[in-house]
Structure 1
Amino acid sequence: MNYYELDTPALLIDREIMMENMHFMQNYADRHKVNLRPHTKTHKMPRLARIQDELGAAGITVAKVGEAEAMARGGLKDIFIANEIVGKLKLQRIRKLAETINISFGIDNTYQVDEIEAVFEGAEKKAQVLVEIEVGEQRSGIIEEDDFRALLEHVKACSNVELKGIFSHDGHSYKAEDIEACRRLYLESVDRTLHFGKIAEEMGMKSEVISIGSTPPFMLDFDIPGGVTEIRPGTYIFMDSSQANVIGTYDRCAASVLTTIISKPTHERVITDVGAKGITAQTRSKGHTTTKGLGRIKEFEDVYIDGVFDEHAIIYNTTFHDQVGIGDKVQIIPNHICPVCNLYEKAYLLSDGEVVEEIPVDGRAKLQ
């Protein structure tokens, strides 16, 4: 079947572009002699995670316990949850997963450690934890050195918790004004992460893993300083409009949303059948990832979604209006692909415009 015959809205993936992106990042990691642990929250598809694994990834990253469970059911055996886990129900699920796979997860507070210690009492394997270091994103993670030392002492006193390493995410690099500003933020983040790794080593708790994240620095081929053992990019597999703006081309965008023109009520307004429930209403408004509109029309130059309702995309463009008819189908390159994938039950893998595989999005809606 040609993709144009699909019902809409539909999530499309260009196989050749996706594979090129996968090989690019694996080769980048290999060249820098670090492990690649892709963040699968981007695609949420065990089928694609297995390909990443087969190409040489050291394991995968997820954001939630539910995603870890979906990936484990899909055959993935080494999973890191790059998030703090709070709540005995979630920790019991992790303990269950640890019986059959290698699983680790994040902490940044002694409260979490106490819960983990209690839940893993009597388990065959100790809980494997990594401490998150806040490096400027202003999200979760350790900020003060004294808090880090206190947390490590707390872990050291535990019988059921084992420190595997530290991790960080330089998400604020998305807001860098240009490539050099991105490089500066990235290097500052890595230096800070390595600094905390040194503190842990001085305390007799040398990190097996020092893991860093975020796609832009790696797509820009920045060097990886010595001491880093692992990188966790996610968006690179598909790219999107914001990431395309970083590297200056849409040619690496593998994913799009197919949508049908359903109305042309004025001489410039065009309506399609996908809205916020299919492409989200996300934008990036600052720095080199800044996007125009709510998504770019792939087949047309400089045509963007101007607004969305739940089930409608609104475009104001007279030239576009005159070139398309009701019933025509176009592709939207989303501003941020990660939440978009979470909205679809399946994706269609394309090669030369033909559907070659339907891939279930098994990790969709796994928010717990």
Structure 2
Amino acid sequence: MDLALLETPVPVVELDIVERNLRRMQDYCDRAGIALRPHIKTHKIPSLAHRQIELGARGITCQKLGEAEVMADAGIDDILISYPIVGQGKALRLAALARRATMRVSLDNPVALATVSEAGRIGGEIGVLVEFDSGNGRTGVTSVEEVLTLARAARDTDGVRFDGLMNYPVNARTGEILRELLPRLEAEGLKPAIISGGGTPQAFRTHEMAPVTELRVGTYIYNDRMTVAAGHASWEDCAYTVHVTVISRPRPELAIVDAGSKVFSSDPMPAGTGEGHGYFPAYPQAKLAKMSEEHGMVDLSACGERPQIGERLRVIPNHVCPVSNLHDRLAFTKGGVFQGFGAIAARGRSQ
């Protein structure tokens, strides 16, 4: 099928760029002596996860049990869930996963530890990574003493094994915390086997910032407008675009495309790095200024040349991960030639 005949809106992934991105990150980790454990939250496609492992990744990272179940069903047997698991129902599902894969879970509280312990007693021992916060203000304990308390508890709890530490994103503060924390853990016989860090935008500086032993990155496989703005990638490194069609030109400075909030994420760009909800390679000054459910309102006022009704446009999303999660399938291309459709098998798995 000719790519130009695919009905829009349609997400399209160029496999040659994907391969280049995967090799670049794996090569960096190999040179730095860091194990790569890619986060599948970006692509959610088992075949791409298998390719990451073929190239040298230690295993994969998932954010939710549902993602891990899809990946385990596809034969992947080394999985970290980088999210606290809480509740009896989730304990039973985690136990089932532990029977068929090497499982690790990050956590920052004793309730989550009790859940993982229950799962481990049923399904087999599960590794625990204690998450600490380095300024992100999300999950993660906020003091060295809390890390020590949870690490001791994991050591002394049935069904779990203290495997180490986790942090997101890796930054200068991560290194400061670890320099204080590691000697105290080692003094208690709790030297971490794994120090897991994450974050695509500064991934290639990980070895400079903190002594992590494992890197969790997701967006790098596709890249997006945010990773370009952060200096991690160029536009040529963006493998994922959404193809849309101009369906209306109600005013000279306005184009309407056939994709709105059901296709694109509403994630804004960081302050000072760009406006709108996506980047148009063919019209760099165009701005996807507003969206309703099915309509994208594109501001063309800064454009010298302007697209016409019926013209197909490519859009690089601000943040590709939530956009990927909005679609059941995407089109694969290689060298710009349509190869077929791929199911986004783990999309929508929010539990």
Shared topology, TM-score over 0.5? yes
2:243 pairs with 1:258: yes
CA RMSD of aligned residues (A): 1.9
Q: In the alignment, which residue of structure 2 is the partner of 1:366?
A: 349
2:278 pairs with 1:295: yes
CA contact (8 A) 2:224 2:319 kept: yes
SS at match of 1:305: strand
2:156 pairs with 1:157: yes
**Structure 2 vs 1, CA of residues 68 and 133 (structure 1 numbering), >3 Å: closer, same or farther?**
same
SS at match of 1:20: helix
Instruction: Tell me which of 352, 358, 363 is aligned to 2:335.
Output: 352
Instruction: Tell me which of 221, 234, 255 is aligned to 2:218.
Output: 234
Q: In the alignment, which residue of structure 1 is the partner of 2:126?
A: 127
**Structure 2 vs 1, CA of residues 2 and 195 (structure 1 numbering), >3 Å: closer, same or farther?**
farther
SS at match of 2:80: strand
Deviations 1:159-206 (A, max 9, x none): 2111111110017xxxxxxxxxxxxxx232233245434332222112
Gaps of 5+ in 2: none
Deviations 1:88-120 (A, max 9, x none): 111211110111111111111112222332343
TM-score with structure 2 setting the length: 0.94
Deviations 1:222-252 (A, max 9, x none): 5346742111111111110011112273121
In structure 2, give the amino acid aligned to 1:353. G
Q: In the alignment, which residue of structure 1 is the partner of 2:79?
A: 79
In structure 1, give the amino acid aligned to 2:45. M
CA–CA separation in structure 1 for the residues paired with 2:341 and 2:175: 39
Q: In the alignment, which residue of structure 2 is the partner of 1:342?
A: 325
CA contact (8 A) 1:242 1:291 kept: no
TM-fit CA distance, 1:319: 7.0
SS at match of 2:22: helix
2:35 pairs with 1:35: yes
CA–CA separation in structure 2 for the residues paired with 1:146 and 1:278: 44
Aligned residues: 350
Map 1:1-368; keep pairs closer than 5 Å: 1-123=1-123, 125-170=124-169, 186-193=171-178, 195-219=180-204, 221=205, 223-224=207-208, 227-247=211-231, 249-286=234-271, 290-318=273-301, 323-368=306-351
Percent pairwise identity: 31
Range that drifts further, 10-19 or 247-256: 247-256
Range that drifts further, 266-275 or 140-149: 140-149
Gaps of 5+ in 1: 172-185
Deviations 1:302-332 (A, max 9, x none): 2221111111110121575964222221111
CA contact (8 A) 1:293 1:305 kept: yes
TM-score with structure 1 setting the length: 0.90
TM-fit CA distance, 1:275: 0.4
CA–CA separation in structure 2 for the residues paired with 1:223 and 1:112: 30
CA contact (8 A) 2:175 2:210 kept: no
Deviations 1:34-67 (A, max 9, x none): 1000111011111111111111100011100000
TM-fit CA distance, 1:2: 2.6
CA–CA separation in structure 2 for the residues paired with 1:218 and 1:147: 27
**Structure 2 vs 1, CA of residues 156 and 318 (structure 1 numbering), >3 Å: closer, same or farther?**
closer
In structure 2, give the amino acid aligned to 1:240. D
CA–CA separation in structure 2 for the residues paired with 1:187 and 1:13: 34
CA contact (8 A) 1:264 1:321 kept: no
In structure 2, give the amino acid aligned to 1:5. L
CA–CA separation in structure 2 for the residues paired with 1:198 and 1:253: 41
**Structure 2 vs 1, CA of residues 22 and 153 (structure 1 numbering), >3 Å: closer, same or farther?**
same
